[in-house]
Amino acid sequence: MANDETPETRIPVTLLTGFLGSGKTTLLNHWLRDPALADAAVIVNEFGEIGIDHALIASSNDNTIELTTGCLCCTVQGDLVETLRDLRAKRSAGHIAAFDRVLIETTGMADVIPVIQALMTFPVARSFRLNRVLTVVDAINGPSTLAAHPEAVKQVAVADAVIVTKIDLPGARVTALEEELAQINPGAARVVCDLTTRPSALVLDGPDVYAASVGPEQARQWLNASPYARGHEHEHGQDHGDGSVHVHGHVHEHAHEHVQKHAPRHTQIESFCLNFDAPLQWPQVSAWLDALVMAHPDELLRVKGILHIAGHDRPIVLQAVQRLFHPPAELPGWPGTDKTSRMVFITKGLSKDYVMQVWDTVRQRASQPAACAA
């Protein structure tokens, strides 16, 4: 089940996204001056569009710019997959300087989901690994942008971290925006900055669940399930041996859930975490997720999980964005003795109750004896 890739040879990729006018250009130019990115490759859509500071440019040709800090910038040629393959081939052949990370900046109107999916698809996934998604939202136009543009909501919903900019300008609505961001994606880290206190390039680093060196605690930080609980710590029910657990004096079939519904009227976003105490059967998990994807491919914005699969001593990492699932990966070990399976769902118009109904249906079918051949 776990993939056979060698994660130590794969290059981490960070996605920088955000709607038009959010401040991505300013932030990127700030980061490009940081020596921490000296061994990075930066992919942008159009150099003219991104507005790289001319003081940073050492040399350039049609589609590649070398910066004074040592890092390399290039534009998307054809599509992102072709660009990544071209970069890797030139790196291997020694035609460009070696790089140890990639930063991809998307256009302001871009749907970031296909970009994430490209990094989960072979052959790209054999050479690159998705590190994290950073979404930039400005405190002045952010609330109205989220209300009017579904693409902006998606950018926040799939983010690992949200960077709030322009907090020091007149008209900034920082508190209201942070509340809305927490409603859309409570598990994303939030970084608030102004013109003088921009985050350093270290914000590009974070729990890298697909790195060869990832530790159990880093994996827990990546999942970050606790914000989805309703204002209390995780509870662990008593397993009854039949897949059910006992919580607060009554039985929940198959799982206890930490749920927090976040559904501003204009987004219809829900986020929740499902916890399973008993080990899960992989065929049932696979059938469950396949059924959800087939019936509602656009409603599953992001799914993240660390699972205890029967027959496996080590936890399994699960991640999906809409229609596409990353190949399951095995972690080195569990963080402590707690082996509860946890799955975080961020959906659009897809309720926790429905997700659990599909799970119940899959389990019931799996428990029915096979029909006898005539």
More confident residue, 218 or 136: 136
Report whether 326 contacts 125 (CB < 8 A).
Answer: yes
pLDDT bracket for residue 58 (50, 70, 90)? low
Segment 180-202, tens digit of pLDDT:
999 999 999 998 887 677 777 77
What pLDDT is attached to residue 264? 46
Tokens 């959906």 label which residue?
347
More confident residue, 248 or 32: 32
Segment 257-269, tens digit of pLDDT:
444 444 444 457 8
40-44, 98-102, 271-275, 335-339: which is most confident: 271-275
The angle formed by the CA atoms of residues 216, 218 and 219, to the nearest 5 degrees, is: 65
Burial 27-52 (b: 16+ CB within 10 A, else e): bbbbbbeeeebeebbbbbbebeebeb
pLDDT bracket for residue 93 (50, 70, 90)? confident
pLDDT at 97 over 90: no
Q: How far, in Å, CA of 314 to CA of 332, rounded?
A: 6
Mean pLDDT of 356-364: 93
Report whether 27 contacts 14 (CB < 8 A).
Answer: no
Q: How far, in Å, CA of 148 to CA of 142, rounded?
A: 10
Mean pLDDT of 134-139: 94
Mean pLDDT of 234-254: 32
Q: How far, in Å, CA of 372 to CA of 229, rounded?
A: 45
More confident residue, 185 or 335: 185
**Minimum mean pLDDT among 13-22, 184-193, 231-240, 350-359: which range?**
231-240
**Minimum mean pLDDT among 86-90, 142-146, 245-249: which range?**
245-249
